């Protein structure tokens, strides 16, 4: 009996988390083998590994504790990989040599797939004097362009993408240019942008007072604070960026305020980190801990939660010692402070099982109570670890307990820390869980509301076959299992129908007991007024959030998947699966085996002195043969540049998988204005069309397409699909039009891919 609730869950495990040999042969025969691999690896540092392996396995079993993807994929593999998801890099020096040293460190970190955050406030503004070279400074945005190019270069080399976050203080002289940078659709596409907003600035906004933009003690401009705030809001309203980070609040609440100052976050914002700080993430699945769901006796088992949190903290603490790091400074920072980020997923589903409407005051109160229980359990577990293994090296009881976060902690927890110390400086964070939530049975993601009750996805597999399946939310599936065809109750709400201020209420309720921060997207309707939109951010500030990220679909940012639920529909009507989100590809780029079978074809174009030789090599997947690469050669040097380019482009398309027969039709349609030629009794409009004909005959010969003219007419990944009159965007990984903004990340609901990893 499979542990997976749906085919998509098993596919995600197979693609992202299942250990395989270099040739693709699975090492993990089942998900139980994956759990065993992780448990064994993280128990190796214990004095009694066998005992802790079994306990760790019990936490992982049934998707109760979900380590972040990097741990799930990397622990126990024997590979030299980092198990940390994201990093904040070192402070960028205000010198040319220092800036490019920082760029090198970023490249080395990103090469291993880590997302990175940077504060560019430390670079002097555009036009400032550069002494000794008789020149003016180009400003931080010009260097951000260099970082952006570096990220694109590493991606083009085939490395896993790591997202980037750039921050800038609200008093930097170039902050206005930073705010408006993404008006240019081609600029800084590898970055998320956030403005570091101070308490003084928010006071000035509310008072409509002046605001000085300064650097190095020199005031460059004075603006009205409210005008600058409105500029942030307008660009966020129109372009979905920049985000807002309440940086003074973060530093005031930080347990480690006595030894560090934070000026940046990881790409999704849930981990404010010091220079060279790293985030280690995992989530407890609240949906698996509810007993007697959808009955008056429904509750989240407090004993099970306490036990699960304690095991999770111990596992995550062990990751600090088990992981490798791209840079030695990152390893030192992680081991000196041992900060971890334990969060949750399945919160919305758990609330539904208790009969609570997400966003209501009752749901917010329950969320706060659960987060406090998790905070208490995690802190006391870390105290127990300190008794056994020692506190983190930079622990100082007086400084630690004086932080804003610890001042609100229960006195028994404070006294335990004062007496015994604590193993981990910070313990809680709510990170994006889109992929692992799908893997765990499509539980609601992080603390987000349910996105869609159900939708239908059509998958074109690597072997060319098509499958169709319904993807159902975890709580909805459980309701069906228990209640049959009974209509969903009125308290079932989703991200499309939830008022924005209800989102803020939930984020604020959770934030009170989260010592790091929260990755959450506040979905706003397209027709929200600008004034109401601004009120969302002011509410986030007033209610104690550490940052705010919104998403408003519009013609600039593009729309996300449109689902059938609407405010006019009853839950019963919205119960039906959604038609849409069609997936065209569900595959990783294909790796090249050492040997391939192929065929070489000769094309003699009339009037050309030399023939073209076209070699097409194939790969066999699931007993189906498909094209893998093309080589085009000719002694005619006139053809050299374009044949090399064509070789590379076609091969890249073939290796991504899916139905690539559109290449044939695209080439066959190329018309040469100088005239075509008659070949084998038919008119061929160009030499490129002749190449397309060769590829077509080859695809017919291997059974990839049925006959001449049977290829797709266009690339399904490249099509722009109109959804509700707006352009949709396709997933970079699988090609589906099932993108949604979740927890600050544009995430694919079909394959789980997100730019945040």
166-214 per-position pLDDT tens digit: 999 999 999 999 999 988 877 888 899 999 999 999 999 999 999 999 9
State residue 684's pLDDT score: 86
Q: What is the mean pLDDT of residues 131-153?
A: 87
pLDDT of residue 735: 53
Q: Report the pLDDT value the prediction gives residue 234, as an integer from 0 to 100.
A: 96
Residues serving a catalytic function are 266, 268, 270
448: left (phi over 0), alpha (psi -120 to 50) or beta: beta
Query: How many Å apart are CA 752 and CA 740, to the nearest integer?
Result: 10
In DSSP notation, 476-493 reads HHHHHHHHTTPPPPTT--
Q: What is the pLDDT of residue 261?
A: 97
- Residues linked to residue 618 through DSSP beta bridges, in sequence order: 597, 627
Fill in the DSSP letter of residue 288: G
Mean pLDDT of the chain: 86
**Most distant pair of Cα atoms in the chain: their distance:** 92
* CA atoms within a 13 Å half-sphere pointing along the CA-CB vector of 628: 17
Question: For the chain, what is the total number of helices (H) and then of strands (E)?
Answer: 25, 32
Percent of the chain residues topping a pLDDT of 90: 59
What number is the average pLDDT over the span 568-585? 35
Quick one: pLDDT at residue 671?
A: 77
For residue 756, the number of C-alpha atoms closer than 13 Å in the C-beta half-sphere is 29
Task: Read off the pLDDT of each residue in 623-650 and give the average, rounded to a whole number.
Answer: 82
By the 10 Å C-beta count (0-12 exposed, 13-18 middle, 19+ buried), 333 is classed as buried
Q: Who's near 541: CB < 8 A, 6+ residues apart?
A: 202, 246, 548
DSSP state of 720: P
* Pairing verdict, β 739-742 and 466-472: unpaired
Q: How far apart are CA 52 and CA 57, in angstroms?
A: 8
Burial class (CB in 10 A: 0-12, 13-18, 19+), 11: buried
- What is the spatial distance between Cα 13 and Cα 73, in angstroms, rounded to a whole number? 9
Task: Output the pLDDT for position 674.
Answer: 75
What is the pLDDT at residue 461?
Answer: 58
CA-based nearest residue to 666, from 683, 650, 642: 650
User: Is the per-residue pLDDT at 705 higher than 80?
Assistant: yes
CA distance linking residue 748 with residue 586, whole number of Å: 11
Lowest mean pLDDT among 104-108, 482-486, 507-511, 711-715: 711-715
Please give the residue that has the higher pLDDT: either 623 or 680. Answer: 680
Q: Could you read off the pLDDT of 275-318 as tens digits, one per residue?
A: 999 989 999 999 999 999 999 999 999 999 999 999 999 999 99
Q: What is the pLDDT at residue 471?
A: 86
Q: What is the pLDDT of residue 425?
A: 98
- The confidence score (pLDDT) of residue 642 equals 82
Question: Which H/E stretch holds residue 229?
Answer: helix 225-239
Residue 127 pLDDT greater than 80, yes or no: yes
CATH number of 93-265, picked from 3.30.70.270, 3.40.605.10, 3.60.21.10, 3.20.70.20: 3.20.70.20
Q: Which of 241, 270, 306 is nearest to 429 (CA)?
A: 270
**Residues 398, 400, 405, 406, Cα dihedral to 10°:** -60
Pairwise CA distance, residues 476 & 575, whole Å: 8
Q: Are 38 and 56 in contact (CB under 8 A)?
A: yes
pLDDT at 392: 98
Beta pairing partners, 430: 518
- Write down the residue that tokens 């083009």 correspond to: 156
Q: How confident is the model over 240-266, as a mean pLDDT?
A: 96
The answer, yes or no, to whether residue 575 has pLDDT greater than 70, is: no
What is the pLDDT confidence band of residue 90, given thresholds at 50, 70 and 90? very high
């Amino acid at each position: 009996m499979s542990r997976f609730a749906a085919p998509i869950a098993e596919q995600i495990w197979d693609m992202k988390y299942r250990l395989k040999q270099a040739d693709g042969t699975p090492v993990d025969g089942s998900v139980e083998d994956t759990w065993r691999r992780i448990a064994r690896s993280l128990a190796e540092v214990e004095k009694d590994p066998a005992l802790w392996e079994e306990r760790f396995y019990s936490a992982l079993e049934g998707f109760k504790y979900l380590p972040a993807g990097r741990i799930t994929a990397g622990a126990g593999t024997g590979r030299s990989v980092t198990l940390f998801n994201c990093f904040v890099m070192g402070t960028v020096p205000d010198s040319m040599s220092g800036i490019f040293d920082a760029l090198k460190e970023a490249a080395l970190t990103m090469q291993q797939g880590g997302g990175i955050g940077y504060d560019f406030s430390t670079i002097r503004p555009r036009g400032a004097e550069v002494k000794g070279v008789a020149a003016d400074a180009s400003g931080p945005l010009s260097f951000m362009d260099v970082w952006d190019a570096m990220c694109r270069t590493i991606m083009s080399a085939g490395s896993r993408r790591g997202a980037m976050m750039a921050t800038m203080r609200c008093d930097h002289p170039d902050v206005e240019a930073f705010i408006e940078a993404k008006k240019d659709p081609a600029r800084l596409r590898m970055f998320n942008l956030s403005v570091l907003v101070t308490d003084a600035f928010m006071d000035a906004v509310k008072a409509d007072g002046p605001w000085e933009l300064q650097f190095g003690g020199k005031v460059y401009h004075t603006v009205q604070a409210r005008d600058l705030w409105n500029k942030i809001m307008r660009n966020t309203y129109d372009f979905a960026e920049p985000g807002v980070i309440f940086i003074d609040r973060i530093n005031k609440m930080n347990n480690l305020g006595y030894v560090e100052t934070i000026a940046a976050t990881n790409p999704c914002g849930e981990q404010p980190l010091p220079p060279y700080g790293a985030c280690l993430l995992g989530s407890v699945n609240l949906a698996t801990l509810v007993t007697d769901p959808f009955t008056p006796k429904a509750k989240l088992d407090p004993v099970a939660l306490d036990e699960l949190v304690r095991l999770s903290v111990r596992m995550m603490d062990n990751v600090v010692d088990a992981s490798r790091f791209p840079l030695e400074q990152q390893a030192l920072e992680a081991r000196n402070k041992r900060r971890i980020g334990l969060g949750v997923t399945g919160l919305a589903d758990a609330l539904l099982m208790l009969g609570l409407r997400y966003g209501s005051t009752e749901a917010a109160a329950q969320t706060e109570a659960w987060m406090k229980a998790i905070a208490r359990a995690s802190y006391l577990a870390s105290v127990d670890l300190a008794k056994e293994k020692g506190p983190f090296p930079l622990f100082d009881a007086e400084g630690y307990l004086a932080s804003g976060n610890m001042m609100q902690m229960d006195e028994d927890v404070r006294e335990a820390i004062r007496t015994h110390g604590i193993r981990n400086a910070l313990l809680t964070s709510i990170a994006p869980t889109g992929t692992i939530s799908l893997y765990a049975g499509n539980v609601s993601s992080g603390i987000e509301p349910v996105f869609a009750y159900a939708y239908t996805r059509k998958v074109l597999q690597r072997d060319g076959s098509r499958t169709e399946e319904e993807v159902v939310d975890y709580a909805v599936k459980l309701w069906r299992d228990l209640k049959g065809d009974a209509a969903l109750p009125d308290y079932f709400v989703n991200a499309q129908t939830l008022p924005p201020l209800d989102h803020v209420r939930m984020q604020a309720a959770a934030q009170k007991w989260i010592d790091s921060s929260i990755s959450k997207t506040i979905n706003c309707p397209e027709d929200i007024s600008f004034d109401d939109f601004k009120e969302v951010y002011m509410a986030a500030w007033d209610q104690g959030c550490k940052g705010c990220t919104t998403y408003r679909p519009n013609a600039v940012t593009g729309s996300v998947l449109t689902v059938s639920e609407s405010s006019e529909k009853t839950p019963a009507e919205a119960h039906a699966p959604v038609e849409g989100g069609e997936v065209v590809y569900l595959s990783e780029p294909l790796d090249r085996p050492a040997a391939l079978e192929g065929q070489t074809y000769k094309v003699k174009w009339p009037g050309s002195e030399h023939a073209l030789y076209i070699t097409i090599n194939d790969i066999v997947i699931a007993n189906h043969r498909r094209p893998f690469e093309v080589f085009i050669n000719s002694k005619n040097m006139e053809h050299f540049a374009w044949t090399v380019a064509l070789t590379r482009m076609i091969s890249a398309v073939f290796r991504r998988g899916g139905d690539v027969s559109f290449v044939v039709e695209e080439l066959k349609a190329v018309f040469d204005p100088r005239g075509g030629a008659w070949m084998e009794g038919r008119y061929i409009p160009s030499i490129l069309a002749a190449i397309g004909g060769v590829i077509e005959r080859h695809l017919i010969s291997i059974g990839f397409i049925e006959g001449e003219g049977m290829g797709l007419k266009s690339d399904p990944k490249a099509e722009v699909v109109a959804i509700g009159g707006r352009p949709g965007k396709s997933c970079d990984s699988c090609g589906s039009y099932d993108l949604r903004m979740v927890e600050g990340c544009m995430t694919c609901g079909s394959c789980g891919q997100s730019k945040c990893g």
